[in-house]
């Protein structure tokens, strides 16, 4: 951390700042310049609150040099992590194909779909039982009935299940879910994150639509610091000024996150695209970028979907895409040696 001291700072204000920093266990080296003095702060700055430092009277600006990520960062954990989800490994070269409908709608919708997804190569089944919707007047999910149908589909196909939690009070209902999803809108629902830190079910943490990658990693840090190290990160598009797609898929997030963290990184192109016809292009791109998995929305009859039908692939299109992904991964593995 580097602190720029105000030109006009009083000697006692600088002393107060230095005393505060030293008390936090870091060491401080002043570097005098022509216009202003810098304080170079070294040691474990991960628990220092930049905003609090910035509040001192002597401070003009605070610049972070290293990310304050004691658990999610590569510093303490250089090797890639593998997160096991119901027996399926994700990360460190293990690629996971997650597929399913946006919302669980009925047994007739879910069970045949799950079987066909499995046949096409999906390794995990996704489906929403509790749906966070922008408008209160839209379908909010089947709730517990949806969870029961997911369990039934898991029993029938053997696919572990992924579904979204939207309230800490729902945790007892999610006990046997294989991968609990935290949606983009809840990425900074810190009370929910704290609760997920206390269990040991794997968590799929989606990036908020205006979250920086640093904020995503700090949200993961909430779960990790609670004691649950089984976190998978998911890029799903950020807000942008162009409405050509629903969100702007940030595929540079894959390389940047892989550099900064050991946690697996997957990509959800369906929500970013908002239109099924763009999903294959973005899926292949995410795989080539080095993602550890994909989460894709598939529906047997998008026109009848109760949510997000426009972005759902048909099962046959998913099967064709899964084949292409396989070929692509083989080519990348061979040529990357």
Of 140-199, binders to its own copies (CB under 8 A) are 166-169, 185-186, 188-191, 194
- Does 15 help bind its own copies (rule: CB under 8 A)? no
Selection from 301, 320, 305, 308 nearest residue 275 by Cα: 308
Q: Which is nearer to its own copies, 86 or 209 (CB)?
A: 209
Give the residue, chosen from 139, 143, 173, 317, that forms a contact with its own copies under the rule CB under 8 A.
Answer: 139
Please tell me the distance from the alpha carbon of residue 290 to that of residue 269, in angstroms, as a whole number. Answer: 14
Q: Which is nearer to its own copies, 27 or 158 (CB)?
A: 27
Judging by DSSP bridges, how do beta strands 124-126 and 96-100 pair with one another? parallel
- Does 23 help bind its own copies (rule: CB under 8 A)? no
- Does 287 help bind its own copies (rule: CB under 8 A)? yes
CB of 275 to its own copies, least distance (A): 8
8 A C-beta contact, residue 208 and residue 184: yes
Structural element, H or E, at residue 11: helix 11-23
Please tell me the distance from the alpha carbon of residue 283 to that of residue 46, in angstroms, as a whole number. Answer: 35
Give the residue, chosen from 251, 263, 265, 266, that forms a contact with its own copies under the rule CB under 8 A.
Answer: 251
Judging by DSSP bridges, how do beta strands 37-42 and 2-5 pair with one another? antiparallel
- Does 138 help bind its own copies (rule: CB under 8 A)? yes
Selection from 203, 181, 61, 189 nearest residue 129 by Cα: 181
Please tell me the distance from the alpha carbon of residue 202 to that of residue 228, in angstroms, as a whole number. Answer: 8
Q: Which is nearer to its own copies, 112 or 290 (CB)?
A: 290
- Does 65 help bind its own copies (rule: CB under 8 A)? yes
Q: Which is nearer to its own copies, 22 or 158 (CB)?
A: 22
- Does 303 help bind its own copies (rule: CB under 8 A)? yes
- Does 281 help bind its own copies (rule: CB under 8 A)? yes
- Does 19 help bind its own copies (rule: CB under 8 A)? no
Q: Which is nearer to its own copies, 126 or 258 (CB)?
A: 258
Selection from 190, 228, 181, 233 nearest residue 212 by Cα: 233
Query: Under rule CB under 8 A, which residues in 112-131 are in contact with its own copies?
Result: none
- Does 76 help bind its own copies (rule: CB under 8 A)? no
Structure tokens at 142: 């089947």
Give the residue, chosen from 9, 278, 293, 294, that forms a contact with its own copies under the rule CB under 8 A.
Answer: 278
Give the residue, chosen from 286, 294, 295, 313, that forms a contact with its own copies under the rule CB under 8 A.
Answer: 286
- Does 212 help bind its own copies (rule: CB under 8 A)? yes
Structure tokens at 24: 């936090």
Give the residue, chosen from 78, 93, 172, 336, that forms a contact with its own copies under the rule CB under 8 A.
Answer: 336
Structure tokens at 187: 């990425």
| Separation in Å, CA 3 to CA 9, 11, 57, 70 | 13, 15, 12, 21
């Amino acid at each position: 951390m580097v602190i720029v001291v105000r030109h006009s700072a009083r000697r006692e204000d600088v002393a107060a700042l230095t005393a505060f920093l030293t008390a936090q266990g870091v060491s401080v080296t002043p570097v005098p310049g022509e216009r202003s003095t810098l304080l170079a702060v070294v040691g474990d700055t991960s628990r220092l609150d930049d905003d609090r430092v910035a509040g001192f009277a002597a401070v003009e600006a605070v610049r972070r040099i290293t990310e304050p990520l004691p658990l999610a960062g590569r510093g303490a954990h250089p090797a890639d992590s593998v997160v096991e989800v119901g027996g399926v490994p994700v990360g460190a070269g293990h690629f996971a194909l997650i597929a399913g409908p946006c919302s669980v709608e009925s047994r007739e919708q879910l069970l045949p779909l799950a079987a066909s997804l499995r046949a096409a190569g999906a390794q995990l089944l996704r489906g929403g039982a509790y749906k966070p919707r922008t408008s209160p007047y839209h379908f909010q999910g089947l709730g517990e009935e949806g969870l029961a149908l997911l369990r039934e589909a898991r029993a029938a196909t053997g696919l572990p299940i992924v579904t979204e939690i939207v309230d800490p009070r729902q945790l007892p209902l999610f006990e046997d879910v294989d991968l609990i999803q935290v949606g983009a809108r809840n990425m900074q629902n810190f009370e929910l994150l704290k609760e997920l830190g206390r269990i040991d079910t794997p968590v799929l943490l989606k990036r908020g639509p205006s979250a920086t990658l640093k904020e995503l990693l700090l949200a993961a840090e909430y779960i990790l610091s609670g004691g649950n190290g089984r976190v998978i990160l998911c890029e799903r598009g950020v807000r942008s000024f162009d409405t050509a797609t629903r969100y702007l898929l940030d595929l540079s997030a894959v390389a940047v996150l892989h550099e900064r963290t050991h946690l697996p990184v997957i990509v959800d192109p369906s929500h970013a695209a908002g239109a099924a016809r763009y999903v294959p292009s973005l899926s292949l791109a995410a795989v080539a970028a080095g993602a550890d998995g994909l989460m894709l929305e598939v529906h047997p009859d998008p026109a009848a979907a109760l949510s997000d039908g426009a972005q759902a692939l048909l099962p046959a299109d998913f099967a064709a895409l899964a084949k292409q992904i396989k070929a692509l991964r083989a080519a990348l593995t061979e040529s990357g040696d």
